[in-house]
Amino acid sequence: MDASAVGVPCEPFTMVVEVGKVREFARSVNSANPAYLEGWAPVSPPTFLATASYWMGPQNSPMLQADLNLERVLNGAQEFIFHGPPPRAGARLTGTGRIDRVYQKTGRRGGVMTFLEVVYEYAGEAGDPVAEVRSTVIETANAVAGESLR
């Protein structure tokens, strides 16, 4: 992992919050909340922004630019912070990602684990802050399951 990438924003991407996708996501997490399922502008579930990866290319994703070995990656944590209500269907968001911090720890089973803290900031059409998603990704010294993904 190149430490010079810390703090450098990736190219912004645009994400449109689509009514059908909000409903599909709500159903996929087994929600019966009518706020997510009814009307033409339902509010998105709080974790809906996790789907932003479908709107990104390699130039927009700090994780893809970090040159991680995907056979050794674990999701350590994820936090969703909103600066108001979660976006509704019809919202057009601009997201920008960056690596916020990189550090290492020695694992209990031996080997060094690399921790990558990634931040995505989302703004509305007027440039107003809408949300922030913070993720911790862990690259282990050895393959997670002991088997190759290939």
Averaged pLDDT, 28-38: 96
User: What confidence score (pLDDT) does residue 65 get?
Assistant: 78
Q: What are the structural domains of the chain?
A: 3-139 (3.10.129.10)
Which of 30-39, 57-66, 75-84 is predicted least confidently? 57-66
Whole-angstrom distance, CA of residue 112 vs CA of residue 62 = 21
More confident residue, 137 or 2: 137
- Mean pLDDT check: name the lowest of 56-70, 112-126, 129-143: 56-70
Q: Residue 84 to residues 36, 113, 132: CA-CA distances in angstroms?
A: 16, 35, 11
Query: Does the pTM exceed 0.95?
Result: no
d(CA 61, CA 128): 21
What pLDDT is stored for residue 67 in this prediction? Answer: 80
d(CA 55, CA 51): 8
